[in-house]
C-alpha cells in the first residue's frame, strides 16, 4: 500500500479484470441494488408532470380557463409538483373557486372560508391557501399578482371577489 487515496478510475481498472464494476462492488457490499440517479430523476419528473396535469385539470373543472390555470401553476410560490402538496393546495383552491362562482355577491370572506373549508381563517392572506386563491383570482382577472400578505383590506378592490365580497358568476370567463 502506498498510502495514497484510491482513485475510482484505478479501482475500476482492477475490478474490470474480475468482470466487476465499482457499482457492482458497492451493490455486493451493501446487499441491495443501487438505482442510478438518472432513473430516480426521470421517475421524479414523471411524478411532477402527472401532479401538474392533475392540478390543471382540477382548476379547469372548477371553471378556470386552461391558459389561466397553467399561468397560475407556473407561480414559484406554489409547492413543488411531485410531492403531493400541490394537489392538496389545488383541491382546496378549486373548492373555493367553485364556491365563489356559485355564491352571490355579499358573502364575507370568513363565511366563504367557513362554508367551503370549515375554517373561517383558511383564506386569511397570511395563509398559503389565502395567498394562492388571491393570486389565482388576480390571474383570472388579468390583474397584477399580489406579492405579499397583508391586511385583508390591502387586496380589496385589486382582486374582484377577494376579501369582503364574493365574485359574482358573471365575472368568470
Q: Which of 51, 132, 116, 117 is nearest to 86 (CA)?
A: 51
Contact present, 98 and 62 (Cβ < 8 Å): yes
CB-CB neighbours of 83 under 10 Å: 13
| CA separation for the pair 128, 107 (Å, rounded) | 21
Q: How far is CA 30 from the centre of its chain?
A: 36
For helices 85-102 and 109-117, the axis angle rounded to 10 degrees is: 120
- Please state whether the predicted TM-score (pTM) of the whole model is above 0.75: no
Instruction: Give 53-93 pLDDT, tens digit per residue.
Output: 999 999 999 999 999 999 999 999 999 999 999 999 999 99
Collect all residues with Cβ–Cβ distance below 8 Å to 16 and sequence separation of at least 6: none
Residues in the chain where the model's pLDDT stays below 50: 150-173
User: What pLDDT score does 1 carry?
Assistant: 62
User: What pLDDT score does 44 carry?
Assistant: 92
Whole-angstrom CA distances from 63 to 19, 57, 69, 136, 137 are 60, 10, 10, 12, 12
Helix ranges, 37-173 (H): 37-61, 66-73, 85-102, 109-117, 128-140
User: What pLDDT score does 67 carry?
Assistant: 96
Query: Measured at the alpha carbon of residue 146, what is the angle toward residues 58 and 56, in degrees to the nearest 5?
Result: 15
Q: Which of 95, 111, 108 is nearest to 63 (CA)?
A: 95
Amino acid at each position: 500500500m502506498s498510502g495514497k487515496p484510491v482513485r475510482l478510475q484505478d479501482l475500476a481498472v482492477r475490478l474490470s479484470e474480475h468482470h466487476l464494476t465499482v457499482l457492482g462492488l458497492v451493490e455486493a457490499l451493501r446487499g441491495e441494488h443501487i438505482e442510478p440517479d438518472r432513473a430516480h430523476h426521470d421517475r421524479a419528473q414523471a411524478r411532477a408532470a402527472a401532479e401538474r396535469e392533475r392540478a390543471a385539470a382540477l382548476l379547469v373543472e372548477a371553471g378556470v380557463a386552461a391558459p389561466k390555470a397553467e399561468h397560475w401553476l407556473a407561480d414559484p410560490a406554489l409547492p413543488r409538483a411531485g410531492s403531493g402538496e400541490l394537489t392538496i393546495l389545488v383541491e382546496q383552491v378549486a373548492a373555493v373557486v367553485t364556491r365563489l362562482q356559485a355564491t352571490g355577491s355579499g358573502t364575507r370572506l370568513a363565511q366563504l372560508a367557513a362554508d367551503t373549508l370549515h375554517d373561517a381563517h383558511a383564506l386569511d392572506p397570511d395563509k398559503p391557501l389565502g395567498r394562492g386563491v388571491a393570486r389565482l383570482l388576480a390571474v383570472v382577472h388579468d390583474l397584477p399578482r399580489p406579492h405579499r400578505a397583508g391586511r385583508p383590506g390591502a387586496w380589496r378592490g385589486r382582486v374582484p371577489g377577494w376579501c369582503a365580497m364574493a365574485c359574482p358568476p358573471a365575472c368568470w370567463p
